[in-house]
C-alpha cells in the first residue's frame, strides 16, 4: 500500500547558535572603544611620569638643602677653630705681661739712679763710671725687652693720646703746641699691640701768654 507523501518543511534560515553569536566588531566600531582605552592608558602613563618627576625634584631639593647645611656646619666649625686658635695664641703672646710689669719697675729704679748720678755736683771719676755702668745695664734690659715685643711708647712731642698717655699735669710750653706732650714723667711701654702701662706725661697748654 502506498502511503501518501507529506511535503518536507524547509529548514530555518538561521540556526539558534548563529542568532546568539555577538558582533565582535561592535566594540571596534563604537566611538568609545579602543581609542578611549588607549587614551586612558596614555593619561595614566603621563600622570605616573609627572609624579616621578615631582618626587625627583623634591629629592633634589632635599639633597641641596642637606648640602647647604653641611657647608654651613663646616664653616662654623672652621670659624670656631680659628677663634680658639687665636685665643690660644693671644694667651701665649701676652702670658709674660705680669713679669714685664715687674721688670719695668726695676728699670725705673735704674733710670732714677742714672738721673741721680747726673744731678750730683761732684762729677768724680767713680760717679761717672757708676753712671756709665747703670746706663749700660739699662740698655741691655731694653734690648732684652724689645726681643720679646716690649717697646717704649713715644711721648714727648707727640699729640696727647689717652690710649697711650696718662696726663698728670699741664704746663705752658713755647716748644710744644697746645695738646702735645711736653714732659715725660714716667716712660710707658706696650707689649706687641697691648699697652703694659701708659706714659705719665705733662701736656702743653701752648705758649705762655705775655
Question: Is 36 contained in some domain?
Answer: no
The strand ranges marked E within 27-173 are: 150-152, 165-171
> pLDDT, tens digit, for every residue of 163-172?
999 999 999 9
> pLDDT, tens digit, for every residue of 34-61?
777 777 777 777 777 878 888 888 899 9
Whichever domain contains 184, its CATH number is: 2.30.22.10
**Domain stops at, among 93, 113, 130:** 93
- pTM confidence score: 0.61
pLDDT recorded at residue 33: 61
d(CA 32, CA 159): 101
Question: How is residue 8 written as a grid cell?
Answer: 518536507
Residue reference for cell 542568532: 19
> pLDDT, tens digit, for every residue of 53-98?
888 888 999 998 999 999 999 999 999 999 999 899 888 888 889 9
CB 167 within 8 A of CB 201: yes
Question: Is 25 contained in some domain?
Answer: no
Question: Is 197 contained in some domain?
Answer: yes
Question: Is 11 contained in some domain?
Answer: no
pLDDT recorded at residue 210: 64
Domains held by the chain: number: 3
d(CA 192, CA 102): 17
- Is the same domain home to 144 and 197? no
- Is the same domain home to 161 and 188? yes
Q: Is 38 left (phi over 0), alpha (psi -120 to 50) or beta?
A: alpha
Range of the domain at 134: 96-148
- Is the same domain home to 158 and 209? yes
Torsional sign, CA 169, 174, 180, 182: negative
Amino acid at each position: 500500500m502506498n502511503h501518501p507523501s507529506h511535503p518536507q518543511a524547509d529548514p530555518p534560515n538561521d540556526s539558534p547558535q548563529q542568532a546568539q553569536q555577538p558582533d565582535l566588531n561592535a566594540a571596534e566600531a563604537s566611538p568609545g572603544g579602543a581609542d578611549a582605552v588607549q587614551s586612558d592608558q596614555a593619561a595614566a602613563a603621563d600622570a605616573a611620569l609627572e609624579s616621578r618627576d615631582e618626587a625627583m625634584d623634591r629629592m633634589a631639593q632635599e639633597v641641596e638643602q642637606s648640602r647647604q647645611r653641611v657647608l654651613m656646619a663646616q664653616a662654623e666649625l672652621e670659624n670656631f677653630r680659628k677663634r680658639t686658635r687665636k685665643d690660644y695664641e693671644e694667651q701665649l703672646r701676652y702670658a709674660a705681661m705680669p713679669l714685664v710689669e715687674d721688670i719695668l719697675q726695676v728699670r725705673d729704679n735704674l733710670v732714677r739712679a742714672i738721673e741721680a748720678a747726673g744731678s750730683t755736683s761732684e762729677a768724680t771719676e767713680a760717679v761717672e763710671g757708676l753712671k756709665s755702668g747703670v746706663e749700660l745695664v739699662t740698655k741691655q734690659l731694653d734690648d732684652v725687652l724689645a726681643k720679646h715685643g716690649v717697646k717704649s711708647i713715644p711721648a714727648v712731642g707727640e699729640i696727647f693720646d689717652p690710649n697711650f698717655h696718662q696726663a698728670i699735669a699741664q704746663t705752658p710750653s713755647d716748644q710744644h703746641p697746645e695738646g702735645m706732650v711736653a714732659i715725660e714723667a714716667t716712660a710707658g711701654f706696650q707689649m706687641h699691640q697691648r699697652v703694659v702701662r701708659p706714659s705719665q706725661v705733662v701736656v702743653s697748654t701752648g705758649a705762655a701768654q705775655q
